[in-house]
Amino acid sequence: MKNKLTKLKFTGERLIPKLNEGSAFYYEHIIRYLLACQYTKGKTILDAGCGTGYGSYLISKHGLGKQIQAVDISPQTIIYAKENYGKSNIDFHVDDILNLKTIKDKTIDLAISFEVIEHISKQNKFLLQIKRVLKNKGLFIVSTPNVLTYPKGNKYHLKELGPNEFKQLLNKHFKNITILNQNFFLSQEINIPNNNKQKDINIKNNQNFFEQKQINLKQSKNLSNCEYIIALCSDKSIKNPIPVSISLENVDNFNLTEGIISLSKQFSELITQRNNIKVELDMIKSSKFFKLWPTYDRLKKLFN
């Protein structure tokens, strides 16, 4: 008789891909690990605050990480990670990121911690642990919501940071910092079909990140007023990343393309109606028939 798999309830604290797939919440988490895949090939990696383990799995499969140490403070979440995202080169451990007892000094090439630092109040203590386990040439990739733009009231966030505060905190521990911005936006694109020289390809949301054999990255713009801040930190020089984007067609069961076309059409129709009414108002205004003036005044109030 097979043992029943562990079930988790979505609370908003952690992403559960099997429950959140297709949501904006899902894509904003997945894309950070796709960014990290540029730095993971052949590396020994720490996923600090790994949650349900999906990110460690992506790094193992698409980033070709050599060995991944994935830790989270929740025993139930680690059991879930082992059951759903276990691989031979991923070691899932229950551990506190403020102590990291399961990780030895100077053993990690790349440490990753996405949307975790805001969940703890002792942020400097956490960064000291990251420095302890990183090799001298090691790289740390960390992200956090931008307190200046992120919606207020997340009960799981103990200390949120803005871009300047985030960089100042990291500068206490690392000599070199590269700041990246993450945001949700809509775009139009003009591409050359069947162009073998084009190295960047869209990651579309109808792809299954956990089953497909290959992931390709696409260059995108660096946005201001971002919703999330990502930092690459090291005491050595940092290789510039290729910006990453996911081309979305559907979010939360809403077809973005069809929706935007429909809204654009409705907006154009409203503009046309508004312009026609303005023409009629001008005609009424110039009319010598004084009885129309009350109608003119009433319509003017409606459209001013």
Query: Is residue 245 predicted with pLDDT exceeding 70?
Result: yes
The model's pLDDT over 104-113, given as tens digits with 9 standing for 90+, comes to 999 999 999 9
Q: What is the CATH number of domain 17-252?
A: 3.40.50.150
Outline where DSSP puts E strands in the chain. 44-48, 67-72, 90-94, 108-114, 134-145, 176-182, 203-204, 228-234, 246-247, 250-251, 254-255
Q: Produce one character per residue of 232-268: b if its CB has 16 or more CB atoms within 10 Å, e if not.
A: bbbbeebeebebbbbbbeebeeeeeeeeeeeeeeeee
Q: What angle do CA 14, 165, 96 make, to 5 degrees?
A: 40
Q: Are 91 and 69 in contact (CB under 8 A)?
A: yes
Per-residue confidence (pLDDT) for residue 38, from 0 to 100: 93
Q: For residue range 138-156, list pLDDT tens digits in order.
A: 999 999 999 988 888 889 9
Query: Does 22 have pLDDT greater than 50?
Result: yes
Contact predicate 184/205, CB 8 Å: no
pLDDT tens-digit series, residues 73-122 = 999 999 999 999 999 999 999 999 999 999 999 999 999 999 999 999 99
The amino acid present at 248, given as its one-letter code, is: L
Q: What is the pLDDT, as a whole number, of residue 234?
A: 98
Q: Where are the domains of the chain?
A: 17-252, 257-303
**Confidence band, pLDDT 50/70/90 cuts, at residue 160:** very high
Task: Give the DSSP letter of residue 99.
Answer: T
Q: What pLDDT does 7 receive? A: 85
pTM over 0.95: no
pLDDT per position as a tens digit, 172-212? 999 999 998 887 765 544 444 444 443 443 444 444 556 55
Where is pLDDT greater, at 80 or 273? Answer: 80
Q: Which long-range contacts (CB under 8 A, 24 or more apart) does 297-301 make?
A: none
Q: Is residue 83 within 8 Å of residue 112, measured between CB atoms?
A: no
| Cβ pair 73, 89 in contact under 8 A | no
